[in-house]
């Protein structure tokens, strides 16, 4: 298994509110996680860094080894982090209203557990084809679900950046968690909307199914987002499951 990631400020933002990292727990399993601080909100960079580093620290100290316990761990710890970020925003006016998306995966042999909140995404490349495996928690996705707009209209909707769920909200956070088995030939892409708003799925698929190295693919995707305008921070994290499973 090989993991590479790149966080880029883009061409238009004055600061970078994206954050990404990988961590290893006590049994050698891997957590890969990215977060996108809420655009337009104060201290989005603080929220994304808090979410990634605090979840990473807790994972590093854990001995998770099963899918079921990893799923429960994601829900419990993302709900805890939601409360922490919300509380910090209430305590300090400089941080009021901050929040972040999160998409993360815990990798076990032949399987991974995926958790996400917001509109950062996960894609799986299998048999040469790219498939989105998360559903955005966003206003336009709700409109698509209700049949009010088409997926094509959602891509250019003026409110496409409005998320309906984020880490840092009041109340109890709902976390989407799933698990998928892998054979060792797949690739898992975690990314912020700075990539997907700038590069269409067909072009992402073309890069990820090319003969480039994992590092070259990550670099190429970030470059493509910037070539198309680079309107937001861009985070790309790619996991290549090599022969023999996920570990």
Is residue 247 within 8 Å of residue 109, measured between CB atoms?
Answer: yes
Q: How far apart are CA 80 and CA 86, in angstroms?
A: 10
Q: Classify residue 198: in a domain, yes or no.
A: yes
Q: φ and ψ at 82, to 5 degrees?
A: -60, -45
Q: What is the CATH number of the domain that holds 49?
A: 3.60.40.10
In a domain, 246, yes or no: no
pLDDT in tens, 144-164: 777 888 877 777 777 777 889
Mean of the pLDDT values across residues 19-23?
98
Return the pLDDT at 130. 98
Whole-number pLDDT of residue 41: 62
Judge whether residue 244 has pLDDT over 60.
no
Q: What is the pLDDT of residues 183-216, one digit of tens each?
A: 989 999 999 999 999 999 999 999 999 999 999 9
* Residue 104 belongs to some domain of the structure: yes
- Which range marks the domain in which residue 155 is found? 2-240
Tokens of 125: 């490349």
Say if 247 falls within a structural domain. no
C-alpha span between 199 and 57 (Å, rounded) = 32
| Main-chain phi, psi angles of 56, to 5 degrees | -65, -40
């Amino acid at each position: 298994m090989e993991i590479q990631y790149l966080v880029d400020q883009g061409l238009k933002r004055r600061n970078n509110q994206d954050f990404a990292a990988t961590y290893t727990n006590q049994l050698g399993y891997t957590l890969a996680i990215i977060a996108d601080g809420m655009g337009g909100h104060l201290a989005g960079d603080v929220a994304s860094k808090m979410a990634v580093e605090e979840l990473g620290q807790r994972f590093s100290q854990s001995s998770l080894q099963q899918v079921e316990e990893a799923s429960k761990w994601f829900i419990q710890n993302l709900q805890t982090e939601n409360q922490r970020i919300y509380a910090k925003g209430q305590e300090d006016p400089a941080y009021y209203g901050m929040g972040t998306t999160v998409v993360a995966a815990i990798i076990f042999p032949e399987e991974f557990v995926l958790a996400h909140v917001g509109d950062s995404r996960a894609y799986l490349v299998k048999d040469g084809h790219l498939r989105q495996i998360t559903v955005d928690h966003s206003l336009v996705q709700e409109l698509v679900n209700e049949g009010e707009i088409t997926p094509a209209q959602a891509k250019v909707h003026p409110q496409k950046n409005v998320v309906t769920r984020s880490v840092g909200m009041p109340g109890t956070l709902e976390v989407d968690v799933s698990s998928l088995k892998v054979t060792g030939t797949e690739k898992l892409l975690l990314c912020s909307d700075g990539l997907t708003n700038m590069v269409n799925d067909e072009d992402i698929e073309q890069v990820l199914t090319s003969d480039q190295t994992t590092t070259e693919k990550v670099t190429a995707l970030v470059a493509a987002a910037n070539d198309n305008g680079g309107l937001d921070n861009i985070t790309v994290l790619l996991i290549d499951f090599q022969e023999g499973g996920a570990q």
